[in-house]
Amino acid sequence: MSSPIWLTIAGMAVVTYALRASFLLLPASVQTPPLLKRALRFVPAAVLTAIWAPELLLQNQVLYVSLENERLLAGMVAIAVAWRWRLTSATIAAGLIALHFFDWLI
Amino acid sequence: MVASGIAPLAAMLMSVIVFAGASMVASAQLLAQGTPAALIILATLFINLRFMMYSASLRLHFARLPLRWRLLIAYLQADNVYGLTLARFAEHPQDGEKLEFFLGAAIPIWLAWQGAVLAGILIGAGVPASWRLDFAAPLAFIAMTVPFLRDRAMIAAALAAGLTVVAANGLPLRLNLLLAALAGIGAGLAAEKKAA
Protein backbone atom coordinates (compact mmCIF):
# COMPACT_ATOMS: atom_id res chain seq x y z
CA MET A 1 0.00 0.00 0.00
CA SER A 2 1.53 3.30 -1.06
CA SER A 3 1.28 6.22 1.34
CA PRO A 4 -0.43 8.83 -0.93
CA ILE A 5 -3.85 7.19 -0.66
CA TRP A 6 -3.85 7.56 3.14
CA LEU A 7 -2.69 11.13 2.71
CA THR A 8 -5.46 11.74 0.18
CA ILE A 9 -8.11 10.27 2.48
CA ALA A 10 -6.87 12.32 5.44
CA GLY A 11 -6.91 15.50 3.35
CA MET A 12 -10.41 14.78 2.05
CA ALA A 13 -11.64 14.14 5.58
CA VAL A 14 -10.16 17.37 6.95
CA VAL A 15 -11.53 19.50 4.11
CA THR A 16 -14.99 17.94 4.29
CA TYR A 17 -15.25 18.18 8.06
CA ALA A 18 -14.07 21.79 8.01
CA LEU A 19 -16.85 22.71 5.59
CA ARG A 20 -19.48 20.91 7.67
CA ALA A 21 -18.29 22.39 10.95
CA SER A 22 -17.63 25.94 9.67
CA PHE A 23 -20.74 27.85 10.71
CA LEU A 24 -21.79 25.39 13.41
CA LEU A 25 -18.67 26.25 15.41
CA LEU A 26 -19.48 29.96 15.67
CA PRO A 27 -20.44 30.92 19.24
CA ALA A 28 -24.16 31.30 19.89
CA SER A 29 -23.66 35.02 20.49
CA VAL A 30 -22.84 35.61 16.81
CA GLN A 31 -26.06 36.78 15.16
CA THR A 32 -26.92 35.58 11.68
CA PRO A 33 -27.37 38.69 9.47
CA PRO A 34 -31.04 39.07 8.37
CA LEU A 35 -30.23 38.77 4.66
CA LEU A 36 -28.27 35.55 5.21
CA LYS A 37 -31.12 34.19 7.29
CA ARG A 38 -33.59 34.92 4.49
CA ALA A 39 -31.23 33.40 1.93
CA LEU A 40 -30.74 30.22 3.98
CA ARG A 41 -34.49 29.58 3.92
CA PHE A 42 -34.10 28.66 0.25
CA VAL A 43 -31.11 26.33 0.62
CA PRO A 44 -33.06 23.05 1.05
CA ALA A 45 -35.45 23.59 -1.88
CA ALA A 46 -32.62 24.80 -4.14
CA VAL A 47 -29.93 22.23 -3.31
CA LEU A 48 -32.26 19.24 -3.07
CA THR A 49 -33.82 20.10 -6.44
CA ALA A 50 -30.37 20.49 -7.96
CA ILE A 51 -29.56 16.96 -6.77
CA TRP A 52 -32.48 15.21 -8.48
CA ALA A 53 -33.20 17.43 -11.51
CA PRO A 54 -30.28 16.07 -13.62
CA GLU A 55 -31.46 12.49 -13.04
CA LEU A 56 -34.73 13.36 -14.73
CA LEU A 57 -33.65 15.86 -17.37
CA LEU A 58 -30.30 14.60 -18.62
CA GLN A 59 -29.30 11.54 -20.54
CA ASN A 60 -25.59 10.98 -21.16
CA GLN A 61 -25.01 14.52 -19.85
CA VAL A 62 -27.31 16.01 -22.53
CA LEU A 63 -30.74 17.63 -22.00
CA TYR A 64 -33.42 15.08 -22.82
CA VAL A 65 -36.94 16.48 -22.67
CA SER A 66 -39.17 14.08 -24.52
CA LEU A 67 -42.25 11.91 -24.05
CA GLU A 68 -39.84 9.01 -24.53
CA ASN A 69 -37.81 9.99 -21.46
CA GLU A 70 -39.24 7.52 -18.97
CA ARG A 71 -37.23 8.92 -16.06
CA LEU A 72 -38.76 12.37 -16.62
CA LEU A 73 -42.28 10.92 -16.83
CA ALA A 74 -41.77 8.75 -13.74
CA GLY A 75 -40.33 11.76 -11.92
CA MET A 76 -43.48 13.78 -12.72
CA VAL A 77 -45.59 10.96 -11.29
CA ALA A 78 -43.43 10.97 -8.16
CA ILE A 79 -43.74 14.76 -7.79
CA ALA A 80 -47.54 14.48 -8.08
CA VAL A 81 -47.67 11.70 -5.49
CA ALA A 82 -45.36 13.60 -3.13
CA TRP A 83 -47.49 16.73 -3.58
CA ARG A 84 -50.74 14.92 -2.79
CA TRP A 85 -49.68 12.51 -0.03
CA ARG A 86 -46.35 13.78 1.34
CA LEU A 87 -45.24 10.20 1.92
CA THR A 88 -41.66 9.26 1.06
CA SER A 89 -42.40 5.55 0.75
CA ALA A 90 -45.39 6.13 -1.55
CA THR A 91 -43.36 8.58 -3.65
CA ILE A 92 -40.50 6.12 -4.16
CA ALA A 93 -42.84 3.19 -4.85
CA ALA A 94 -44.96 5.17 -7.32
CA GLY A 95 -41.88 6.51 -9.09
CA LEU A 96 -40.28 3.07 -9.48
CA ILE A 97 -43.52 1.50 -10.69
CA ALA A 98 -44.05 4.38 -13.12
CA LEU A 99 -40.48 4.00 -14.37
CA HIS A 100 -41.01 0.35 -15.23
CA PHE A 101 -44.46 1.08 -16.67
CA PHE A 102 -43.22 3.84 -19.00
CA ASP A 103 -40.18 1.75 -19.88
CA TRP A 104 -42.51 -1.08 -20.91
CA LEU A 105 -44.87 1.33 -22.73
CA ILE A 106 -42.22 3.14 -24.76
CA MET B 1 -14.74 2.36 -5.58
CA VAL B 2 -12.96 -0.92 -5.08
CA ALA B 3 -13.71 -1.65 -8.73
CA SER B 4 -11.65 1.40 -9.68
CA GLY B 5 -8.62 0.10 -7.81
CA ILE B 6 -8.88 1.37 -4.22
CA ALA B 7 -7.94 -1.18 -1.56
CA PRO B 8 -11.02 -2.40 0.38
CA LEU B 9 -9.67 -1.16 3.71
CA ALA B 10 -8.94 2.28 2.26
CA ALA B 11 -12.42 2.46 0.73
CA MET B 12 -14.07 1.59 4.06
CA LEU B 13 -11.88 4.03 5.97
CA MET B 14 -12.72 6.78 3.48
CA SER B 15 -16.40 6.03 3.88
CA VAL B 16 -16.19 6.36 7.65
CA ILE B 17 -13.94 9.40 8.02
CA VAL B 18 -14.96 11.40 4.94
CA PHE B 19 -18.62 10.24 4.84
CA ALA B 20 -19.54 12.10 1.64
CA GLY B 21 -20.67 9.95 -1.26
CA ALA B 22 -20.25 12.22 -4.29
CA SER B 23 -16.71 13.21 -3.39
CA MET B 24 -15.82 9.58 -2.75
CA VAL B 25 -16.99 8.48 -6.18
CA ALA B 26 -15.13 11.39 -7.75
CA SER B 27 -11.96 10.66 -5.80
CA ALA B 28 -12.09 7.00 -6.85
CA GLN B 29 -12.16 8.08 -10.49
CA LEU B 30 -9.38 10.61 -9.96
CA LEU B 31 -7.22 8.12 -8.04
CA ALA B 32 -7.65 5.59 -10.82
CA GLN B 33 -6.38 8.23 -13.25
CA GLY B 34 -3.31 8.85 -11.07
CA THR B 35 -4.32 12.38 -10.06
CA PRO B 36 -2.03 14.00 -7.42
CA ALA B 37 -3.37 14.03 -3.84
CA ALA B 38 -3.52 17.83 -3.66
CA LEU B 39 -5.81 18.02 -6.69
CA ILE B 40 -8.11 15.32 -5.32
CA ILE B 41 -8.36 17.17 -2.03
CA LEU B 42 -9.14 20.41 -3.90
CA ALA B 43 -11.82 18.64 -5.94
CA THR B 44 -13.30 17.35 -2.68
CA LEU B 45 -13.43 20.89 -1.36
CA PHE B 46 -15.48 22.09 -4.33
CA ILE B 47 -17.75 19.06 -4.49
CA ASN B 48 -18.57 19.38 -0.80
CA LEU B 49 -18.93 23.17 -0.63
CA ARG B 50 -22.69 22.78 -0.20
CA PHE B 51 -22.01 21.43 3.31
CA MET B 52 -20.98 24.96 4.25
CA MET B 53 -24.50 26.09 3.37
CA TYR B 54 -25.95 23.22 5.39
CA SER B 55 -23.72 24.23 8.27
CA ALA B 56 -24.98 27.83 8.20
CA SER B 57 -28.55 26.61 7.85
CA LEU B 58 -28.36 24.06 10.68
CA ARG B 59 -26.72 26.65 12.91
CA LEU B 60 -30.04 28.55 12.98
CA HIS B 61 -31.45 25.58 14.91
CA PHE B 62 -28.45 24.31 16.85
CA ALA B 63 -26.30 27.36 17.71
CA ARG B 64 -27.09 27.09 21.42
CA LEU B 65 -26.10 23.45 21.85
CA PRO B 66 -22.85 22.53 23.66
CA LEU B 67 -19.83 22.31 21.36
CA ARG B 68 -19.63 18.50 21.51
CA TRP B 69 -23.10 18.15 20.00
CA ARG B 70 -22.33 20.66 17.28
CA LEU B 71 -19.15 18.74 16.43
CA LEU B 72 -21.21 15.56 16.10
CA ILE B 73 -23.90 17.30 14.02
CA ALA B 74 -21.17 18.57 11.70
CA TYR B 75 -19.85 15.06 11.13
CA LEU B 76 -23.28 13.53 10.51
CA GLN B 77 -24.39 16.07 7.90
CA ALA B 78 -25.51 14.49 4.64
CA ASP B 79 -27.87 15.58 1.88
CA ASN B 80 -30.68 13.29 2.99
CA VAL B 81 -30.19 14.00 6.70
CA TYR B 82 -30.28 17.72 5.96
CA GLY B 83 -33.36 17.36 3.76
CA LEU B 84 -35.30 15.30 6.30
CA THR B 85 -34.33 17.50 9.22
CA LEU B 86 -35.10 20.84 7.59
CA ALA B 87 -38.40 19.53 6.20
CA ARG B 88 -39.40 18.54 9.73
CA PHE B 89 -38.30 21.89 11.22
CA ALA B 90 -40.21 23.79 8.51
CA GLU B 91 -43.43 21.92 9.30
CA HIS B 92 -42.99 21.94 13.09
CA PRO B 93 -41.13 25.17 13.88
CA GLN B 94 -41.98 25.01 17.60
CA ASP B 95 -40.64 21.48 18.02
CA GLY B 96 -38.50 21.38 21.16
CA GLU B 97 -36.65 18.18 20.32
CA LYS B 98 -34.66 19.19 17.27
CA LEU B 99 -31.45 17.45 18.33
CA GLU B 100 -33.33 14.20 18.96
CA PHE B 101 -34.94 14.44 15.55
CA PHE B 102 -31.62 15.16 13.84
CA LEU B 103 -29.89 12.23 15.51
CA GLY B 104 -32.88 9.99 14.89
CA ALA B 105 -32.52 10.70 11.17
CA ALA B 106 -28.74 10.85 10.99
CA ILE B 107 -27.70 7.76 12.95
CA PRO B 108 -29.81 5.20 11.04
CA ILE B 109 -28.75 6.84 7.77
CA TRP B 110 -25.10 6.69 8.83
CA LEU B 111 -25.40 3.01 9.77
CA ALA B 112 -27.28 2.13 6.58
CA TRP B 113 -24.74 4.01 4.49
CA GLN B 114 -21.73 2.32 6.07
CA GLY B 115 -23.47 -1.05 5.86
CA ALA B 116 -24.18 -0.49 2.18
CA VAL B 117 -20.57 0.54 1.50
CA LEU B 118 -19.32 -2.56 3.32
CA ALA B 119 -21.74 -4.76 1.40
CA GLY B 120 -20.63 -3.13 -1.84
CA ILE B 121 -16.98 -3.79 -0.98
CA LEU B 122 -17.62 -7.42 0.01
CA ILE B 123 -20.10 -8.57 -2.59
CA GLY B 124 -19.97 -5.93 -5.30
CA ALA B 125 -23.06 -5.13 -7.32
CA GLY B 126 -25.50 -7.79 -6.09
CA VAL B 127 -28.80 -6.32 -7.31
CA PRO B 128 -29.57 -6.74 -11.01
CA ALA B 129 -29.28 -3.39 -12.83
CA SER B 130 -32.57 -4.13 -14.60
CA TRP B 131 -34.48 -3.47 -11.35
CA ARG B 132 -33.37 0.14 -11.73
CA LEU B 133 -33.27 0.68 -7.98
CA ASP B 134 -30.72 3.44 -8.56
CA PHE B 135 -33.71 5.61 -9.48
CA ALA B 136 -34.92 5.37 -5.87
CA ALA B 137 -32.28 7.95 -4.89
CA PRO B 138 -33.66 10.85 -6.96
CA LEU B 139 -37.18 9.78 -5.97
CA ALA B 140 -36.27 10.04 -2.29
CA PHE B 141 -34.88 13.52 -2.89
CA ILE B 142 -38.08 14.50 -4.72
CA ALA B 143 -40.07 13.35 -1.69
CA MET B 144 -37.89 15.56 0.52
CA THR B 145 -38.11 18.58 -1.78
CA VAL B 146 -41.84 18.79 -2.43
CA PRO B 147 -42.94 19.69 1.14
CA PHE B 148 -40.80 22.84 0.89
CA LEU B 149 -42.67 24.11 -2.17
CA ARG B 150 -45.39 25.88 -0.23
CA ASP B 151 -45.09 29.41 -1.54
CA ARG B 152 -44.14 31.11 -4.79
CA ALA B 153 -40.68 32.09 -3.61
CA MET B 154 -39.82 28.47 -2.73
CA ILE B 155 -41.12 27.24 -6.09
CA ALA B 156 -39.08 29.94 -7.84
CA ALA B 157 -35.98 28.81 -5.92
CA ALA B 158 -36.50 25.16 -6.88
CA LEU B 159 -37.21 25.96 -10.55
CA ALA B 160 -34.18 28.22 -10.88
CA ALA B 161 -31.95 25.64 -9.20
CA GLY B 162 -33.27 22.81 -11.38
CA LEU B 163 -32.81 24.77 -14.61
CA THR B 164 -29.35 26.03 -13.62
CA VAL B 165 -27.99 22.65 -12.59
CA VAL B 166 -28.98 21.26 -15.99
CA ALA B 167 -27.83 24.29 -17.98
CA ALA B 168 -24.45 24.36 -16.23
CA ASN B 169 -24.03 20.61 -16.45
CA GLY B 170 -20.79 20.97 -18.42
CA LEU B 171 -18.90 22.49 -15.50
CA PRO B 172 -16.34 20.27 -13.73
CA LEU B 173 -16.30 19.29 -10.02
CA ARG B 174 -20.06 19.47 -9.66
CA LEU B 175 -19.76 23.24 -9.70
CA ASN B 176 -23.16 23.26 -11.41
CA LEU B 177 -24.66 22.15 -8.09
CA LEU B 178 -23.15 25.13 -6.33
CA LEU B 179 -24.17 27.53 -9.08
CA ALA B 180 -27.69 26.07 -9.00
CA ALA B 181 -27.91 26.58 -5.23
CA LEU B 182 -26.90 30.23 -5.62
CA ALA B 183 -29.32 30.76 -8.53
CA GLY B 184 -32.10 29.17 -6.49
CA ILE B 185 -31.39 31.37 -3.47
CA GLY B 186 -31.27 34.46 -5.72
CA ALA B 187 -34.55 33.57 -7.43
CA GLY B 188 -36.20 32.87 -4.07
CA LEU B 189 -35.10 36.20 -2.60
CA ALA B 190 -36.22 38.06 -5.74
CA ALA B 191 -39.64 36.37 -5.74
CA GLU B 192 -40.06 37.10 -2.04
CA LYS B 193 -39.23 40.76 -2.57
CA LYS B 194 -41.70 41.01 -5.43
CA ALA B 195 -44.44 39.49 -3.30
CA ALA B 196 -43.78 41.83 -0.37
* B30-51 residue pLDDT tens: 787 788 888 889 888 888 888 9
pLDDT band at B4 (very low <50, low <70, confident <90, very high): low
Q: Please identify every stretch of chain A with a pLDDT value under 70, giving residue numbers as ranges.
A: 1-3
Q: Which whole-number Å values give the CA distances from B136 to A25, B44, B67, B109, B132, in the listed order?
A: 34, 25, 35, 15, 8
pLDDT of residue B3: 64
Is residue B129 less than 8 Å (CB to CB) from chain A? no
Interface contact flag, A1 B10, Cβ < 8 Å: yes
> CB distance A57–B145 less than 8 Å?
no
Read off the pLDDT of each residue in B74-94 and give the average, rounded to a whole number.
Answer: 91
Residue-level pLDDT at B175? 87
Q: Locate the chain B residue with the closest alpha carbon to A50.
A: B162
Q: How far away is chain A from the Cα of B78, in angstroms, using its nearest Cα?
A: 9
Are B27 and B6 in contact, with CB atoms under 8 Å apart?
no
Q: Which of residues 74-113 of B touch A (CB under 8 A)?
A: 74-75, 77, 79, 82-83, 86-87, 90
Region B78-97 average pLDDT: 89
Q: Is the per-residue pLDDT at B122 higher than 70? A: yes
Of A25, A58, A92, the CB nearest to B169: A58
3-state helix, strand, coil in chain A (%, to 5): 75, 5, 25
User: Which comes out higher in pLDDT, residue B152 or B125?
Assistant: B152
Burial grade of B99 (CB within 10 A; 0-12, 13-18, 19 or more): middle
B 19-38 near A (Cβ less than 8 A): 19-20, 23, 27, 31, 37-38
Q: What is the mean pLDDT of residues B96-114?
A: 95
Interface test with A, best of B15, B31, B79, B142 (most A CBs within 10 A): B142
| pTM over the 0.90 mark | no
Looking at this protein, which amino acid is placed at residue B44?
T
Angle made by CA atoms B19, B100, B51, in degrees to the nearest 5: 35
- Residue B126 in this model has a pLDDT that exceeds 70: no
- What's the pLDDT score for residue B6? 79
Three-state SS for B176? helix
pLDDT tens digits along B133-154: 889 889 988 998 998 898 999 9
Shortest Cα distance from B90 to chain A (angstroms)? Answer: 9
pLDDT for position B128: 78
Query: Does the beta-carbon distance from B75 to A17 stay under 8 Å?
Result: yes
Q: Which of A78-82, B58-62, B73-77, B171-175 has the lowest mean pLDDT?
A: B171-175
Q: Is A28 on the interface with B (CB under 8 A)?
A: yes
Mean pLDDT across B53-75 = 95
User: Within an 8 Å CB–CB cutoff, is residue B189 touching chain A?
Assistant: yes
